[in-house]
Structure 1
């Protein structure tokens, strides 16, 4: 019975507003005759859903008694079984709580009707100042399915596209729904809804000129989470008997919005940096991708375990990426006790496997329905408080070991005879690599070759061959011969493939690999055979979630916001790197691929290793693409650290050096990149949307590139000499070393003399293009901002490009 009622609640909640999707697909002449409840009801009957679900879809709103469709559609006019009446009220309450203030003061009473309106990006509501500033409200997501990677664009550009888009999406949804109708459950339906309703607005009214900004998918998902948590709280904490659900009218209990019936649960994995980056260079590139993926699988498995052990639903998973997660749970004694027990169990497993390296911090705080739906509620405040709670716990991690397992923590260690050449951990037996690193190397290799990962059923794990074990769950990259051994399929590449045979979940691996070996990667560099290391993350992320949405911080919006960030780093970015091979800074038009390896990308940050020149160009590609994705919002930016490194450096040195540069960028007021030890605002690197303020690094390099020709991973000098570059570099260094600018203007005559000699030399040979080249470069260098900030990096990049090349 428990599973049956759970499934009915979840399917009812996930499909309660399916009529809104259908409504958008109707021809205009039919739209005025039907309400979304009626459309949903008829479709639910057609596909064979149960009476309870059909009724919940039909009657999940209260109508006025003078409404002509009151008897047929209103919740209050229902005279059927008590348990169905309670279900309808539960869906109504959860729908209203999920919607919060998303529809203004009432969808049916304000604004004007726009069935073909596009979905405004959630980023439009973000403001880190006192007032709502940043992105203009006239932006919408492109009229594309989520798998086709829609970006934020001006609404005028999408006029006329959404009507056809909605019709087409509904047609495809119906076709795919039929394939799983017989096997319908929450996980299959969630994936299908994400695929087809993540770009569909939740409501159809444009209120005060403001386009709808909440997707139907996130509204349905949060409604389901709220409904199941509410049911659990009412039956366990108030009724103490599930049978009362079937024979008592529970309206007062259901609609109570001041009781703290919910828990917002947050988890954060400590030790990620040490686990991934504390490696030597030998085979580091092979193992680090495996380690990064392992941590993602660890967090996925931990969340799945919590969902199962706490009897939650997958709609309750608000966010899970970047080593952290948020869940919505019922505030019951059983849940609280189980949370503490599960935290201990998971950390005991981590300690046994990895010593003190990895620790899962877990915290929770209570919320009521008012907090979830109202601008005066404390949802954003609690979100931020949980971040603080997790930080404090991570500062005191493993405390329980001191009192409960003192002997385990401080028992004499075995003599270490041999250390792993990759991670430095003890090696038992033959060989020079520890068992963990061997597993991680194999994991990284198989990951690069696979499109799916199979989670095996617990009872089948002993018989089926597994590639990896995580928290007593077993996974295989090879499909088992016996299909009954499969619990779930994780989709690594084709992310929205719904199956009637298995439960499927999109699990993008953020995969982009150019070369597996460090030395071979360095050999692909243009000129200087060195690596480029890049670390980037979203600025002010904590503030964005804790106060960025101002009075629009509803549960659905926070869920949407977190998922959009994660999708960009996990899904958009790797595919962008595959498609956009550009050299905006080095101007190497002969490059055929982005020679970088994406080590990690997810949540809100990334780490990549590539050739020094590709990594530099890719830094701008990522920044400009992220800004485009977010509608060029002024409060949404990235900071980055970039370093050039030798392939023989220990991996932890590479990671630390890039991290130091990233901190310099943050200290520069954010929205910056630090290259060669010098932090620069991104608008000093290049321009976005032709919004030019002054010369950029790209402008300087564009002039210099006129004197270069690229062949066979080399840049050959056509006009100037290496000696000219080196002399100019010396003068730039002398200028920047002086603290007193007024005492250093004597450098300008030397610069003039250097250029005059070069111009005289090329003039004698009647080389007009060379004369033009020197004059353009000289006019740039006379501007102090260029001289002080840009010319040094530009000359160093040029020096690196021509290493190994020869002057013609």
Structure 2
């Protein structure tokens, strides 16, 4: 355990001197030192074990004629400390692999700039047929807690050294609380908090560095520990052999890229009756994230891996790095079987976990990870086509034995388990799991942190507490302070703010949820006009291609793919709820200006989301998310989202609402992606809004700005027409739809009828002739506008003005 602690902690801190160096003033004498000297001095003064100090000090190989060879070279320690020397070698080699993945070699026309900033990895993604991002974008050096968006380098170039100084001072303050006893997870969390937007190196050529210091440190720790495990499993003696040559081999398939995927998620979350739908689906969507975390915890414990080895774990999927040993492969197979047996006992065949692995060399980690990532994806696809094959083969009789049909749960429709009272309603009986999910949905909005309880530890929960057991791991959810025993804790509300001493493992767990109403029938009443629910589904286009082929071949590295996955996940789980809580900026519909959006973000994570809201607020939310996501990804044309909005009555069961939204979302995908669909229409996002060609009416936003220009609100808050009547709106929509019907035999008469409609309306309302009717008539006379934009624009305005009357 001490050796693992030294390897992982030393690897995670090996380049800490780079951040300290950036924080120094220009005349500080330490600016003349090397970063490993600066880092080692700090670690020694902080009280880290001497082996960790030596790893930080000596993690670079030096030539014998280097003036600091004796002071900084690992070989200079001598044979009497072979265990430590080999540990330094393995970290140094892992650092070299990671650095080789992440940056160009020093030399040529480059230069060192301590104030250089991190270029977003999003900028590097270029899909076939798409233009690259040419603008020089950077992340401002901030904490991960800040909502950071890429900016043009020229906008943020001033005062950078002061920002680095603040980051280091705050990180140092948190590390100094218990440097010798800090848990691996807690250390990784703090490094994520403070080095997520710090570049891994300061060597600048034409392009700025695009790998964060955090992902470099994390990658180094993962590669170092997996290398150690591989070598020990293959018979090397760590304490008595000089292993530099063995450690340095790059052509052996020492590593496994492990991929996992949970099937059945959609049905698990959404195939529910209406009773308590919002509470139940909130609990179930969170439960799936907890299930993936439990699987990750189980894998890490069984494989003896640190959390640094986890590339990605969210949205029903996971990727991690493991050593390519016989024991590891057997363990991976065993854990998959163990998980699926447990899932079958709990949920029948509703959920299935696929787990596969693909070997890779050190050279492959640096230069060929994209192909390996692709092969893992292909293996997962094959595995998902063979669900339950192993279980059926091993125990056919049990698997196909008749299952009890009595005691069917009215919410999830599962049978065979003793029913219990629905929380708060003694006469309404449900299965124990649905009762737990309702309880979880009730308690989640008030949970700031939850705890993983020690194995075998008996904790007496309070009446308001909830204990969930997942894969044999017990998790405690409480609204109140808890000071009892904990194997680890997860930060929900403030994902990077430690609540316990540093030796207790901590990790962030933002939920990706945002709720404004507890029940659907309350939510639907908050809308404008028609009382309808809006169901929105959005996801990132071509995500598999982005990871396997989106980056240039020379840039497809462990650290960069790690970076991409973490930043996507962080957007949906952390940035998105904050966005939805704000009033809309440059709203799609003018009636939403200075108005709260009534939305329930049921699920967000990985690369997609599922949202319920009033129909008009869900429409606005889609536009706000699109604009914000474009800013977050540096307006890269290769990184797009598509979505679908279904509008329906709230009495429709949740599974049907989800199904309808899925069908509409598919219409957006069929529109060439980078699209949004609602009702029977599908548009490119650029057709929805954002253009500023005044008077041309080339977007729906421009039509809505005109059609809703003189809307007033009645005493109930419903929009009230002023410039035109409901009859005019309905006639306009009917004529536009008739013109769009290419087989309509009376199509040539549509334009004269439109002129007649407008002339009659202008006679009745001369006050709005110049401000409304003539601009709208001019726009309508454009054939594309009449066919493409007007039917959708009128349909939305018709719903908004339901029940609001007219002037």
> Which residue does the alignment assign to 2:379?
389
Q: Tell me the alpha carbon deviations over residues 190-227 of structure 1, each in whole angstroms, 9 at most, x when there is no partner.
A: 011000011110000112x1001100000000100000
For 1:706, what is the secondary structure of its paired residue? coil
Matched, 1:230 2:232: no
| CA distance 1:589–1:619, shift in 2 (3 Å) | closer
Cα distance change on mapping 1:691 and 1:121 into 2, 3 Å = farther
Q: Which residue of 2 aligns with 1:749?
A: 752
Q: Equivalents in 1 of 2:202, 2:585: separation in Å?
A: 41
| Aligned counterparts of 1:434 and 1:47: Cα–Cα separation in 2 | 53
Deviates more, 1:508-517 or 1:417-426: 417-426
Q: Distance in 2 between matches of 1:252 and 1:477?
A: 50
- In structure 2, the residue matched to 1:517 is 519
TM-score, normalised with respect to structure 1:
0.95
1:483 CA drift (Å): 3.6
User: Aligned pair in 2 of structure 1 residues 579, 143: CA closer, same or farther (>3 Å)?
Assistant: farther
Kept in 2: contact 1:509–1:570 (CA 8 A): yes
Q: CA separation in 1, counterparts of 2:147 and 2:208?
A: 21
Structure 1 gaps, min length 5:
none
Q: CA deviation at 1:401?
A: 2.5
Q: Name the counterpart of 2:488.
A: 488
Q: C-alpha offsets along residues 728-759 of structure 1, whole Å, 9 cap, x if unaligned? A: 11101101122489x73321111111001111
Which residue number in structure 2 is paired with residue 563 of structure 1? 566
- Structure 2 distance, partners of 1:488, 1:727, is 64
Indicate how the Cα distance of structure 1 residues 699 and 549 shifts in structure 2: closer, same or farther if over 3 A, else same: same
**CA offsets per residue over residues 385-426 of structure 1, 9 Å max, x none?**
111111111111011222222222222222436441454656
Task: Supply the distance in 1 between the matched residues of 2:679 and 2:232 (Cα, whole angstroms).
Answer: 61
Give the conservation status (yes or no) of the 8 Å contact 1:423–1:437.
no
Determine the structure 2 residue equivalent to 1:736.
740
**Partner residue of 1:533?**
535
Deviates more, 1:643-652 or 1:457-466: 457-466
**Would you say 1:473 and 2:477 are equivalent positions?**
no
* CA distances 1:153-177 after superposition (whole Å, capped 9, x unpaired): 1110011132111011001111111
CA contact (8 A) 1:590 1:710 kept: no
Residues 143, 161 of structure 1: 8 Å contact kept? no
Residue matched to 1:177: 175
Q: Which residue of 2 aligns with 1:82?
A: 82
Deviation digits for residues 120-158 of structure 1, max 9, x if unmatched?
Answer: 001111111278x42225100133211011101111001
Provide closer, same or farther for how the CA distance between residues 130 and 683 of structure 1 changes in structure 2, counting only shifts above 3 A: closer
Q: Cα distance, 1:458 vs. partner?
A: 1.3
Larger deviation: 427-436 or 593-602?
427-436
2:406 paired residue number: 416
Structure 1 equivalent of residue 425 of structure 2: none
Q: Distance in 2 between matches of 1:481 and 1:801?
A: 45
Equivalent in 402, 417, 420 of residue 392 of structure 2: 402
**TM-score, normalising length: structure 2:** 0.95
Kept in 2, the 8 Å contact 1:420–1:426? The answer is no
Q: Using a 3 Å threshold, how does the CA distance of structure 1 residues 260 and 496 change in structure 2: closer, same or farther?
A: same
Alignment partner, residue 640 of structure 1: 643
Aligned residue for 1:525, secondary structure, equals coil
- Aligned partner of 1:158 in structure 2 is 156
In the other structure, the counterpart of 2:423 is none
For the residues of structure 1 that align with 2:693 and 2:763, how far apart are their CA atoms? 36
Distance change (3 Å), C-alpha of 1:109 and 1:41 = farther
Q: Does 2:8 correspond to 1:10?
A: yes
In 2: Cα distance, 1:116 partner to 1:690 partner: 40
Aligned length: 791
Tell me, in whole angstroms, the C-alpha distance in 1 between the residues paired with 2:583 and 2:304.
44
- Give the RMSD, CA atoms, in angstroms: 2.0
Match of 1:112 in 2: 111
1:415-448 alpha-carbon deviations (Å, 9 max, x no partner): 4364414546566446342222111111111111
Tell me the equivalent position of 1:778: 777
SS at match of 2:176: helix
Deviations 1:319-369 (A, max 9, x none): 001100001001111111111111111100000000000010000010110
Q: How many Å apart are 1:110 and its aligned residue?
A: 5.5
Give the Å deviation of 1:113: 1.3
1:700 alignment partner in structure 2: 703
Range with bigger deviation, 548-557 or 599-608: 548-557
Provide the C-alpha distance between the structure 1 equivalents of 2:239 and 2:695, rounded to a whole number of angstroms: 67
Matched, 1:320 2:317: no
Contact 2:686 2:699 in 1 (8 A): yes
Conserved 8 A contact 2:178-2:501? yes
Aligned partner (choices 257, 263, 276) of residue 270 of structure 1: 263
Aligned counterpart, 1:22:
20
